[in-house]
Chain A
């Protein structure tokens, strides 16, 4: 059973527009959340994280929002660029424990 779910396998966005990637989790013990980005033939690389004491974390064009009551987080990319085209994985953990990853969302930014 997937404790972290990414229900959209793919997303296409025009360059310059906002990309919104969504992630849901089921375990209320999760208190740390991450987004990883993966290019073809490469391993995932860490993008941005958020702890449960916050509801927003921003890093340049990337912002992660956390809604604990809904057990939902989202990644916003503004403005989207063609180089952002990749697979994005959401992950969650309870401190000191393993990460649980979602199935990934493939983002395509159209020039």
Chain B
């Protein structure tokens, strides 16, 4: 299995631009999670999906953030407009089922907003 795939691995953009991060979960996994890693707060859960349906998006920091999962094999996290404080590493993770006992992380996307 290829594991969770994220793209791009690195993104540098200017403030005000739209940023789209992409994730392909492990085939057969029903749950998908988006996390943001910062030094101050560690790994923060932004949103998670179960069977392509958003279950909890309370971690999404602002309306500038949105996430979609149009099918079982693809999800996007969009930031529009981006701001310098959004600079972080964003991870996507998938799990075999809702409430499963572990999650499998992708390699992350390092986002830098200038």
Residues of A contacting B103 in the complex (Cβ-Cβ under 8 angstroms): 46, 99
Instruction: State how many residues of chain B have any CB contact under 8 Å with chain A.
Output: 24
Q: How far is the CA of A42 from the CA of B33 in the complex (A)?
A: 16
B105 touches A44 (CB 8 A): yes
Considering the complex, which residues of chain A in the window 41-67 have a beta carbon less than 8 Å from any beta carbon of chain B?
Answer: 41-46, 49
Q: How far is the CA of A95 from the CA of B4 in the complex (A)?
A: 23
B99 touches A95 (CB 8 A): yes
Residues of B contacting A97 in the complex (Cβ-Cβ under 8 angstroms): 99
A101-B99 contact given A41-B107, A43-B91, A44-B105, CB 8 Å threshold: no
Residue A27 lies at the interface, judged by CB distance under 8 Å to chain B: no
Q: How big is the A interface, by class? A: 20 to 34
Among B35, B40, B45, B56, the residue within 8 A (CB) of A103 is B40
Q: How far is the CA of A104 from the CA of B91 in the complex (A)?
A: 15
A42 touches B107 (CB 8 A): yes
- Shortest distance from the beta carbon of A47 to any chain B beta carbon, whole Å: 10
Q: How far is the CA of A103 from the CA of B103 in the complex (A)?
A: 17
Chain A residues proximal to chain B, CB less than 8 Å: 2, 6, 32, 34, 36, 41-46, 49, 89, 91, 93, 95-104
Q: List 22 A-B contacts (CB under 8 A).
A: A2-B42, A34-B102, A41-B107, A42-B107, A42-B108, A43-B91, A43-B107, A43-B108, A44-B43, A44-B91, A44-B105, A45-B105, A89-B42, A96-B99, A98-B56, A99-B45, A99-B103, A100-B45, A101-B42, A102-B42, A103-B40, A103-B41
User: Which 9 pairs across A and B sit closest by C-beta, in order of nearness?
Assistant: A43-B105, A103-B42, A96-B99, A101-B43, A46-B102, A44-B105, A43-B107, A43-B106, A101-B42
